[in-house]
Amino acid sequence: MKMFQGRNPGVARFSLLLGGLFASGIYGRGNQSALQRMQAVQSHLSRYVTIRGDTNGDMQLESQMKARRVPAVSIAVVRNGAIDWARAYGVSSLDGGPVSTRTLFGAASISKAVTALGVLKLVEEGKIDLDANVNHYLKRWKIPDNEYTANRKVTVRELLNHTSGIGTHNGEIYDSASPIPTLLQLLEGEKPARTPAVRVEAVPGTKFAYSNGGYLVLTLLIEDVTGQPFAAYMRRAVLDPIGMTHSTFDAPLPLEWRARAATAYGADGKWAVPPSKYVEPNLGAGGLWSTPTDLAKLLIEIQREYEGRSHKVLRQETMRRMVMPDKEVAAPRRWGLGLEVGGSMDNPYIRHEGSGYFQDDMVEYLHGNGIVVMTSGGGGAGLAEEVIRSAGTVYDLPDFKPVEHSVVDVPDATLRAYTGTYAYIKVAMEDGHLTAEIPSGSPAVRLYPESATQFFVLDGPQELSFFLDSEKHVTGVDFIVPMGHHRLERTPER
């Protein structure tokens, strides 16, 4: 595997190619052309959080790709129900040529949203019932009963909205030159699968737990109900009707597609994974290869079906069911059937992210604008967030504009008192400021004080709020994320 670091000549080539792929632009809104809007987005990236009075320096796309070691990023923007612009930046690999808007990226977990459309198509056709025991439809394998399913069985709905009780089962990538596990081997955790067997680990319907394993079961459901391979059914039922001609669930990726697929890079920017070595056999959870333009077509079709102006895949009633919050147990972050949903009643949005080697994100307001960002890894998640925050300003995406915080001075002695371990978070002092490993062992991020006890990070919604006992001793921290507050006790020093 190729290293993306040091004086690798590919890095120099990467920087050289980047230099020819960018254009400066005018930042503003109103009666702008698509070119001006594109230049505005790529020229004024913003972190999730901005500090009041600080412009965050030069946040152009080119400089952020280099800083975050992201070889390629591809973007498509939806405006008023149509693609406003699409553009790709960077190189397909460190020894390859420039990417284009037709370059394929691994869609990672965005695949789940597409899979959900395929499942709901079967619901609409009367072939399955959302609230029936999914085992009624499975032929080659069934979810084993245990103490959690004694009084309540897993339903199709619960698989779609991540409340089935099935464990997470993080995705594993396989080399096409090595044995690739079958669907049944994945379900039973049998070699060559590198993930455990799919089992129910909580009472179905009682709590939200994001589950790749649940979408593995949905992959089997589609095959057993239709009698077709998953990839073939998804092409017929979803991809072709929408016109997603540069998308496929075929695994391994066919040879004729590999030549225009991007190489993926690890989160640390070091390990290169070319398309031939990137096989995700859990197709329903993460097996889609696509482009931002194709995913923008998907968003547009969802928007049109939601408004009752199209029914290429689903009727309006079914689509509205898909994009409405479906389970209170998922609060405060809300999920529909295969998509995260948010915003207001008057201006709702849908979203799905993808992570792993490829880092992707897509957002769309059902009555307005949207954006798809796909990256080839490295620090792509942070880069995608910065692009979306920029688009939030240019395209008026109200929930995706930068969040502004203030910073206050906190004495060093107070900061030092917070250092230590809090369950899975490690807080340290470095160069006069606090850092946190979230979780322990991951790269440390800087913490910025908004008060003497409240801290935030720049690249996400995470906040830490330290709490003290009556004698002013630090005893724990509230870890605040969109999914809620997690009170973590301080681990005693040994």
Residue, of 14 and 110, whose pLDDT is higher: 110
Element (H, E) at 475: strand 474-481
According to the model, what pLDDT value does residue 142 have?
98
Element (H, E) at 83: strand 82-90
According to the model, what pLDDT value does residue 7 have?
31
Instruction: Examine the pLDDT at 4 and tell me if it is beyond 50.
Output: no
> 115-127 pLDDT, tens per residue?
999 999 999 999 9
According to the model, what pLDDT value does residue 493 have?
76
Query: What value does the mean pLDDT take over residues 14-21?
Result: 43
- In this structure, are residues 256 and 46 in contact, taking their beta carbons and an 8 Å threshold? no
CATH superfamily of 106-400: DD-peptidase/beta-lactamase superfamily (3.40.710.10)
According to the model, what pLDDT value does residue 328 have?
62
Instruction: Examine the pLDDT at 9 and tell me if it is beyond 50.
Output: no
> 128-148 pLDDT, tens per residue?
999 999 999 999 999 999 999
Listed range (79-93, 94-108, 326-340) with the worst mean pLDDT: 326-340
Query: What value does the mean pLDDT take over residues 436-455?
Result: 92
Query: What value does the mean pLDDT take over residues 291-307?
Result: 98
Listed range (43-47, 74-78, 445-449) with the worst mean pLDDT: 43-47
Instruction: Examine the pLDDT at 11 and tell me if it is beyond 80.
Output: no
Cis peptide leading into residue 348 (ω within 30°): no
Cα gap 336→32, rounded to integer Å: 35
Question: Position 285: which residue type?
Answer: A
Instruction: Examine the pLDDT at 471 and tell me if it is beyond 80.
Output: yes
Instruction: Using alpha carbons, select from 309, 305, 336 the residue that is nearest to residue 238.
Output: 305
Instruction: Examine the pLDDT at 23 and tell me if it is beyond 90.
Output: no
pTM over 0.75: yes
Cα gap 459→271, rounded to integer Å: 23
Listed range (6-15, 22-31, 161-170, 342-351) with the worst mean pLDDT: 22-31
Tell the residue number behind the tokens 């090595």, with chain if given.
178
> What is the average pLDDT score of the chain?
89
- In this structure, are residues 373 and 42 in contact, taking their beta carbons and an 8 Å threshold? no
According to the model, what pLDDT value does residue 184 have?
97
Confidence of residue 356 (pLDDT cuts 50, 70, 90): confident
According to the model, what pLDDT value does residue 2 have?
34
CB-side neighbour CA atoms (13 Å) of 440: 11
Query: What value does the mean pLDDT take over residues 82-87?
Result: 96
According to the model, what pLDDT value does residue 20 have?
38
- In this structure, are residues 488 and 436 in contact, taking their beta carbons and an 8 Å threshold? no
What single-letter DSSP state applies at residue 30?
S
Instruction: Using alpha carbons, select from 234, 236, 265, 256 the residue that is nearest to residue 113.
Output: 234
Cα gap 440→65, rounded to integer Å: 26
Residue 438, C-beta contacts closer than 8 angstroms, at least 6 positions apart: 424, 425, 445, 462, 479
Confidence of residue 1 (pLDDT cuts 50, 70, 90): very low
